[in-house]
Chain A
Amino acid sequence: MMAGELNDLYQDIILDHSKNPRNSGYLEGATHSARENNPLCGDRVSVYLTVQNAEITDLTFEARGCAISVASASMMGQMMKGKSVAEAQNLFKQFIALINGSDVAEGVELKDLQSLSGVKQFPTRVKCATLSWHALQHALESGGIESKTS
């Protein structure tokens, strides 16, 4: 049997997202994108967004990483579609709080993302869970377009 904390980390929903990531791939016509690397392990993720009238109308990602980083990117994409840029930035803050074991603001629905709260028991894996989120944040801030990841 798995140790309890491992159970918390590798929940079925996380394994499902990592094996069948939603919104994975390059996004034609993206208005924003950014790439993040974790130089410690060589993992990388690119996030592509279409933003219209300050609303995220589409989001995809390309990731090369562990189960935690892929699942996190997959869940992030599901969560962000249809959100305003301001809502997305607030969700970013709340998600970082969740992963670091701090309090999440009341009234914020993290849905599937809640399953990643187990990461807080694994400090060496926090970077994995937050990699795609930092890419999203950078994409929203810079607004630049990255070329397609080969």
Chain B
Amino acid sequence: MTSKNTDPFPIKQIRSDFPILSEKIYGKPLVYLDNGASTQKPIQVIKAISGVYENKYANVHRGVHYLSQVATDEMEAAREKVRGFINARSEREVIFVRGATEGINLVASSWGKANLTAGDEIILSQMEHHSNIVPWQLIANATGAIIKVIPIDDSGELEMDVFRSLLSEKTKMVAITHVSNALGTIVPLKQMIKESHDTGALVLVDGCQAAPHLQVDVQKLDADFYVFSGHKIYGPSGIGILYGKETLLEAMPPYQGGGDMIDTVSFSGSTWADLPFKFEAGTPNIADAIGMGNAIDYISTLGLPAIIEYENALLSYATEKLQAINSLKIVGNATEKAAIISFVMGDIHPHDIGTILDRQGVAVRTGHHCAQPVMERYDVPATARASFALYNTFEEIDSLAVSLAKVQEIFG
């Protein structure tokens, strides 16, 4: 299954698995460094999805007919792959959602309505993606709960002493990212979860940026909820995962009502299906759930230890290359970082950087990365961000550096 760490990383084979990597952009080879926003898909995933529609497709959990059973089995097999990927205790704890955003909204709404009252506190961090801020603001407005924010220090790490001072018996939920999408910072999650639990708070983790880059073990972390998206782990968009501890999910009311999530329905009242189906109202995204399972197979075949080692080498090389550019300043220099580099270049606006890189075939993200509080913290309107994946190469980092030199040439 997994390659040994002593084997060289099979980068050539990997690149040939991703058809889009041979595209030309404005006549130049594509250098895709926007993996934090979304990753490209290997042929194994693309074929699996079309394969579902070609010969395995019907609605799930309904029909007595053959294809319905095939589709149901495939989808449940994907759920089992996800369970193994994050080491959940049971597939009852693995809920298919549209993406991490929907997972957070589900918990904020369902758990929040049942458990939050006026004066209760929710702790977030300053490095959260908007998707881990706004759902909590909505439920705070509805319940009278109060949001407290853990600040970031100059290097891009959370101010842990402030976190500790914010924790109290009023804290009901700590919602925190595992890896910052704007800074690359890996958060000391295990410690924060332990301290949160010690004061009686639950913890929801936004694992979007962690799932493709770190080995996630929800039991070891002791996370209460953990969300991530399929499209950031080389799988399709429109599918994602909410992991929740079974006892918590059992106690929560449904988020949406509809088919598939009921046990019995009558006008005198309805009863809910068992987990995980209680939270999967309506026909799910069948093909993409199966495709997400194939993406996990792809990662597992390479082995996360080998991927992590390779991406760390890319990160070190890119950090060194970018730091050598005079006017360039990296935003976010945490000791523990995933392969994400946010940067600014003097007075040159990141949009201009992005446009010039684009014309060299280099795709980076520019803007606030859906993390406006982070931009405010560093007093920049935006940054440029290069985020790496298992198919990126050292040569591509050289191309990035050459293209950045062009930015300097144009802006003098």
- CB contact under 8 A between A41 and B367, given known A66-B352, A68-B352: yes
Interface status of A105 (Cβ within 8 A of chain B): no
Counting chain B residues whose Cβ lies within 8 A of the other chain, the interface size class is 20 to 34
Q: How far is the CB of A43 from chain B (nearest CB, A)?
A: 6
Interface status of B410 (Cβ within 8 A of chain A): yes
Could you tell me the distance between the alpha carbons of A125 and B351 in the complex, rounded to whole angstroms?
8
Residues of B within 8 A of A (CB): 26, 347-352, 355-356, 359-360, 366-368, 372, 375, 381-382, 406, 409-412
Contact of A15 with B411 in the complex, beta carbons under 8 Å: yes
Could you tell me the distance between the alpha carbons of A84 and B266 in the complex, rounded to whole angstroms?
69
Interface status of A108 (Cβ within 8 A of chain B): no
Binds B, one of A1-9, A26-34, A136-144: A1-9
Contact of B410 with A66 in the complex, beta carbons under 8 Å: no
Q: How far is the CB of B392 from chain A (nearest CB, A)?
A: 23
Could you tell me the distance between the alpha carbons of A125 and B381 in the complex, rounded to whole angstroms?
16
Contact of B349 with A42 in the complex, beta carbons under 8 Å: no
Could you tell me the distance between the alpha carbons of A67 and B410 in the complex, rounded to whole angstroms?
11
- CB contact under 8 A between A41 and B372, given known A3-B26, A6-B410: no
Instruction: Identify B359's interface contact among A6, A41, A43, CB under 8 A.
Output: A6
Contact of B381 with A42 in the complex, beta carbons under 8 Å: yes
Could you tell me the distance between the alpha carbons of A73 and B225 in the complex, rounded to whole angstroms?
47
Q: How far is the CB of A116 from chain B (nearest CB, A)?
A: 14
Interface status of A54 (Cβ within 8 A of chain B): no
Closest A residue, CB atoms, query B348 = A67
Q: How far is the CB of A70 from chain B (nearest CB, A)?
A: 8
Residues facing B in A1-59 (CB within 8 A) are: 2-3, 5-6, 9-10, 15, 19, 40-43
Could you tell me the distance between the alpha carbons of A43 and B351 in the complex, rounded to whole angstroms?
10
Residues of A within 8 A of B (CB): 2-3, 5-6, 9-10, 15, 19, 40-43, 64-68, 122, 124-125, 128
Could you tell me the distance between the alpha carbons of A40 and B370 in the complex, rounded to whole angstroms?
9
Q: What residues on A are CB-neighbors of B349 within 8 Å?
A: 65-67
Contact of A41 with B375 in the complex, beta carbons under 8 Å: no
Closest B residue, CB atoms, query A5 = B359
Contact of A40 with B367 in the complex, beta carbons under 8 Å: yes
Contact of A41 with B352 in the complex, beta carbons under 8 Å: no
Could you tell me the distance between the alpha carbons of A66 and B348 in the complex, rounded to whole angstroms?
7
Q: How far is the CB of B360 from chain A (nearest CB, A)?
A: 8
- CB contact under 8 A between A41 and B26, given known A2-B410, A64-B381, A65-B349: no
Q: What residues on B are CB-neighbors of A2 within 8 Å?
A: 406, 409-410
28 contacts between A and B (CB under 8 A): A2-B409, A2-B410, A3-B26, A3-B360, A5-B359, A6-B356, A9-B355, A10-B352, A10-B411, A15-B410, A15-B411, A15-B412, A19-B347, A40-B367, A41-B366, A41-B368, A41-B382, A42-B381, A42-B382, A65-B351, A65-B381, A66-B349, A66-B352, A67-B349, A67-B352, A68-B351, A68-B352, A124-B355
Q: How far is the CB of B195 from chain A (nearest CB, A)?
A: 33
Contact of B375 with A42 in the complex, beta carbons under 8 Å: yes
Could you tell me the distance between the alpha carbons of A65 and B350 in the complex, rounded to whole angstroms?
9
Contact of B355 with A122 in the complex, beta carbons under 8 Å: yes
Which 9 pairs across A and B sit closest by C-beta, in order of nearness?
A: A66-B349, A66-B351, A41-B367, A42-B368, A67-B352, A66-B352, A42-B381, A64-B381, A3-B359
- 8 A-B pairs besides A2-B409, A68-B351 with CB distance below 8 A are A5-B359, A10-B352, A10-B410, A15-B411, A15-B412, A41-B351, A43-B351, A66-B352
Q: What residues on A are CB-neighbors of B381 within 8 Å?
A: 41-43, 64-65
Q: What residues on A are CB-neighbors of B356 within 8 Å?
A: 6, 10
Q: What residues on A are CB-neighbors of B347 within 8 Å?
A: 19
